[in-house]
A and B are shown apart, each in its own frame.
Chain A
Amino acid sequence: MTEVAIEVKNIHKEFVLLQNKSTTLKQAVVNIVKKNHKTIYKVLDGVNFEINKGDFFGIIGRNGCGKSTLLKLIAGVYEPTAGNIYVHGGLTPFIELGVGFNPELSGRDNVYLNGAMLGFTRKQMTEMYDEIVAFAEIEPFMDQKLKNYSSGMQVRLAFSIAIKAENDILMFDEVLAVGDANFQEKCIKQFQRLKREGKTIVLVTHSMDTVEQFCNRVLLLNSGKVDFIGKPEDAVRRYNELNLIN
């Protein structure tokens, strides 16, 4: 019997968009008096699925279909309007790489800062530090301020922290295409290693190649609803059909 890593049960998410988003007290008062019309924007509308332990799970869909919102809900950044999400095991989400990075601090300080945000203690980060720096291939620059890094170096550092973060479940939002060909090769190897080690990985992406190469199950979202869930080849075919229709 397969163990479940993440259960998503009948998730609804609505965002309230005020016609005049009230950011001052005056507007707030005016809104009460005028009964300002709210626009409710439904992003997810009853989404159900399960991710099993050891899955390399892809989430695909066209822009604005609710992929990122779903990821943020699983990560606990947003609270659902209705429904429940159960996560079994430790989860490290990467909605964005390098969360908390500060350009005024050195590369070294940023590794620790980002590590803390991801839930690691200073001691744990010290143990992983050398490996992270070696993977990013930027040893000589670790005492330089981050603002002096090229954008490629920044992304490499951020990605290296992410890939070294050991947890049961890892979630990535569109972060595979970083660095030059050589670095990408290394990243792909790391993904294969994670897969071999039986980690659960959730990946939001627009790259159908990545989906077919890595994923064993894929969820296709369309307008906030589950359109298809199953084998990657079928999901990709369905995704291409959707793109043709619209």
Chain B
Amino acid sequence: MMKYFSVRNRSILKELVRADFKIRYQGSVLGYAWSVLRPLLLFSILYVIFVYIIPLGKGVPHYPVYLLTGVILWNFFSESTIQGLTAVVARGDLIRKIKLPKYLLVFSSTISALINLFFGLVVLLVFALINGVTPSVEWLLLIPLILELVSLSVGISLLLSSLFVKFRDISYIWEVVLQIGFYASAIIFPLSSVPVHLRQWFFLNPVSQVIQDSRYVLATHTSVTMWNTVDAIRFIIPFAMIAAIAIIGGFVFKKRSRTFAEDI
């Protein structure tokens, strides 16, 4: 583990993330303020639509918080995997010219997405307080939940980015998968509105488990979570999936990264 985060690797990672962050708001008048403004504007739109126009979450306590928790976590997942997917190919210029640990490129895209998630979370927590949610120590459970989601994103990004070097179709396929995933993660409708016998199927998707648990922690204890839907044995499924994806992703990436410089 030490090897992966040597002084040199850490400084490369820091500079990559820093450059990415600087470029993102390059040339905009409000600059870094957009990191907070973006989630704020997104929240406002969703709030108006799903609270006043299509009240999908009637009866769910703190539904706006419930909705937005799902949205920012989903956005993190989709942003980090989309950026992660192209992380290697996009930096072909580096890979062809210097020896560098290629996984740093994937890590840097995940960290960039994580920074956005952080700003989103800050806005969300303020929003939750305004909405009347009582702050509690339980909120700290968000940290392991986010780490779980990060592991999944990194695993997927490693796998997809290394395959993307040779198979450019991957990006279109992943776009479709994300579309399906958006509905399969019950982002905009509460899982409690889904027929009981169908609910368990949502938890074949690790993202749902993370989101439903986060909603339980942050918005309402009425959130349908995996551990109150399925039995203990099936409860292992999302964790096993994440571990499997991370191991396969890491393995495939390691194997393929040896010829990235020639293949890009």
Contact = CB atoms under 8 A, between A and B. Distances in A.
Contacts of A77: 95-99, 261
Nearest to A113: B15
Nearest to B91: A100
A22 B14 contact: no
A15 B262 contact: yes
At the interface, is chain A mostly helix, strand, loop or mixed? Answer: loop
Interface string A7-43: 0000000010000001111101000000000000000
Where chain B touches its partner, the secondary structure class is: helix
B26 A104 contact: yes
Q: How large is the interface on B (under 10, 10 to 19, 20 to 34, 35 or more residues)?
A: 20 to 34
A117 B22 contact: no
B23 interface: yes
Interface in B228-264: 258-259, 261-262
A105 B11 contact: no
Nearest to B8: A119
Nearest to A75: B99
A119 B94 CA distance: 13
Nearest to A78: B261
A24 B170 CA distance: 9
B42 interface: no
Given A24-B169, A117-B98, A109 B11 contact: no
A96 interface: yes
Contacts of B93: 99-100
A23 B19 contact: no
A118 B12 CA distance: 9
Contacts of A75: 98-99
Contacts of A84: none
A96 B97 contact: yes
Interface of B: 7-8, 11-12, 14-16, 18-19, 22-23, 26, 93-100, 166-169, 258-259, 261-262
Listed from nearest, the 4 A-B pairs whose CB atoms lie closest are: A76-B99, A116-B15, A95-B97, A121-B11
